[in-house]
Structure 1
Amino acid sequence: MTTALQPPLPSVPVLRLRLAPGGGMPRPIDGAWWPRSYDLISELPQLLAGLPSAWGHITSATVNGAEWSAVPGRMLVFNQVVRLRRSLTASAPHTIVLLAPGRGRWDLLVVPPDTSEAVAEPLMAAAVAGHA
């Protein structure tokens, strides 16, 4: 009898996200996210899946900057509708703002996807330490 080897299951890339410690004073940046591309349709589901359950259901995501690919007005993520917006505000060019009604707003620094690990890691650490 011959046994066929099963091909390995595709692995899901590790979410590159760091969140600031909870509690205390409000912060200008709540964490840092290092996506693998500027394609929000493919990147957002993994980000939302990695957020703490205490943040609740995210209903809106606003990305800041012209780098992001075109986004539809909304998308279905885990059977929930998420409104998508793109802003060109100069005040915070590399951020994503997540909203959950009744729970709050979270601003994440977005580290550009093409950033090297040697540069991205210190940026993310500084963001969660409050030095971004």
Structure 2
Amino acid sequence: MTVALERTAHAMAPAPPRPARLVLTPHTALAGQLDGAWWPRSRDLAAELPLLVTALAEPWGHITRVTVNPTRWPVIPHKVPVDGQILHVGWFTEQDPDKLILFSHTLGRWDLLVVPPETGTSAASRLMAAAAVPGSILTAAALIAAEAVIGSRPDLRIREDAWESEGGARTSDIGALARLPVGPLSAGARW
């Protein structure tokens, strides 16, 4: 008995693109250093920017220009096609390397912390939550530096994990210094 097998080439449909990993600062009257955070999956701007700009289309409108610092991006394309439009990409060495700036002709400018693609999930969650705090004065560089300290200190991670497991919600020890006592008030000082 012979069996005839027919080989057919099945065209595999490409997987749909995964959504951008993004968190935005809630709309408030408090202006801060950052408008949120973006956690790209790679350092390929040509592949990552369309996902980001598409995700921002509804809340922020048509993004026309993006600037980055070349320190973190191996290749910076000058133009990236996004939904039939052209996104212009520029770079400045003076710009914070951990920040991406987006521009729209009609709605203005937004600054996002760029969480490094290789960052672990816990660290990325802390960074994204900290970047989305309304009115925060912390810059992208300050957040990345603080996370590097937390990531290198197991005692800080253990305290945070204990807090989280007990039902608390804390993003990091960044604000802990502001809660330290500063000593007695001088004579005549008022609250």
TM-score by length of 1: 0.85
Out of 78, 98, 116, the position equivalent to 1:112 is 116
| Distance 1:46-1:116 versus aligned 2 partners, 3 A rule | same
| Distance 1:108-1:54 versus aligned 2 partners, 3 A rule | same
Corresponding residue for residue 49 of structure 2: 44
Unmatched tracts of structure 2, length 5 or more: 1-10, 144-191
| Distance 1:99-1:41 versus aligned 2 partners, 3 A rule | same
CA–CA separation in structure 2 for the residues paired with 1:124 and 1:108 = 10
Following TM superposition, where does structure 1 have runs of at least 4 consecutive aligned residues deviating by more than 6 angstroms?
6-9
Q: State how many pairs are aligned.
A: 127
CA–CA separation in structure 1 for the residues paired with 2:84 and 2:29 = 33
Corresponding residue for residue 69 of structure 1: 74
CA–CA separation in structure 2 for the residues paired with 1:79 and 1:24 = 34
Deviation at 1:70, TM superposition (A): 1.6
The percentage of aligned residue pairs carrying the same residue is: 40
Corresponding residue for residue 128 of structure 1: 132
**Looking at both structures, which has the greater relative contact order when contacts are Cα pairs under 8 Å and sequence separation is at least 6?**
1
Within-5 A mapping of 1:93-104: 93-104=97-108
Name the one with the larger helix percent.
2
Structural RMSD (CA)? 2.1
CA–CA separation in structure 2 for the residues paired with 1:53 and 1:119 = 28
| Distance 1:110-1:83 versus aligned 2 partners, 3 A rule | same
Corresponding residue for residue 37 of structure 2: 32
CA–CA separation in structure 1 for the residues paired with 2:29 and 2:61 = 19
CA deviations on 1:12-45 (whole Å, 9 max, x unpaired) are 3232100000131322100000001111000000
Unmatched tracts of structure 1, length 5 or more: 1-5
Q: Is the 8 A contact 1:65 1:89 kept in 2?
A: no
TM-score by length of 2: 0.60
CA–CA separation in structure 2 for the residues paired with 1:20 and 1:52 = 16
Corresponding residue for residue 89 of structure 1: 94
CA–CA separation in structure 2 for the residues paired with 1:102 and 1:15 = 23
